[in-house]
Structure formats: structure tokens, C-alpha cells
Amino acid sequence: MNRRMAGWLAGAAVACAGLLSGVDARAAEFRSIAAPAVLYDAPSLLAKKLFVAPRGMPVEVVSVVNQWVKVKDQAGDIAWVERADLSAQRTVVARANAVVRSAAQDGAEVVFQAERGVVLELAEPAPAPGWVRVRHRDGGNGYVRAAEVWGL
């Protein structure tokens, strides 16, 4: 093999490695359902209707095809939803009983507990790593460990 061919192969290998690592390293994109929305098994209004997602349900964006978005829910189920049915407002859902505290630290006062499946509005990342600030629709707000919620 000549030097030019060896250089080309080495460059191609580096490019492929970069592409593969980029796929694994991409940050997940999350959205929430804007209003109750039908989720389908394919990107078409003629596709099979799977279920109606409630307002505020967080979903992970898998891919986008025109006005359709392929999403994954907390259970790992994949479905399609119309792009117009998604909101940029971020929400998270409690994985189990999530403890919401007055400050981003374990010893802080408990503000409330969110039972498994409760949707919380994501207010902002907390000042301490591993915590996020959330707000309940009834008005309570505080900090929860990121590991206790899904949708980040």
C-alpha cells in the first residue's frame, strides 16, 4: 500500500470514530406534550392510534420527519406525535417517591413529596450538581435530586 492510500485510510478511520462517538455523546433532547395529544405508531394521521398522552408529559425526541416527531416516553415506548403537539416547556416525572426540598442539599427541609408518575415543571438546574429546581402545578416548588426524576 502506498503512503497516500495509508494516509487516506487513517483519515477515514479517524472520521468514522468521530462520527460513532458523536452518536453516543449527543445530549438527549426532551420536550413535553402541550395539550392532550394522540400518539401514533407511524408518522401519519392514518396510522394506528396508540394512546392519548396527557398535557405536560415529558418525552425524549428520537427523530424528526417533517411535521412529525418520533418520541420515547419514560417506559421506553416509542411513538409518533405531531410537532405542533409538543411544547418547549420542560417537565420531568417522578421515578418513585421524589423528595422535593427547600434547598439543593440532602439535609434541607422537605417541601413536599411527589409520588411516582407525578409531573413537575422544570424550573432550572440547581446550583448544586445532581439537583434540579422543580415546580408542582399546585404551587409548591423546591429542589429534587436529578436521579429521582425522568426527563433530563
> What residue ranges do the domains of the chain occupy?
29-87, 91-150
Q: Do domains 29-87 and 91-150 have the same CATH topology?
A: yes
pLDDT tens digits for range 5-35: 444 444 444 344 443 434 444 567 999 999 9
CA–CA gap between residue 37 and residue 152 (Å, rounded):
21
Q: Which of 2, 95, 79, 65 has the alpha carbon at shortest distance from 33?
A: 79
Radius of gyration of the chain from its Cα atoms, rounded to whole angstroms: 20
Q: Is 18 left (phi over 0), alpha (psi -120 to 50) or beta?
A: alpha
pLDDT tens digits for range 110-131: 999 999 999 999 987 667 788 9
Please name the fold of domain 29-87.
Answer: SH3 type barrels. (2.30.30)
pTM tops 0.75: no
- The CATH superfamily assigned to 91-150 is SH3 Domains (2.30.30.40)
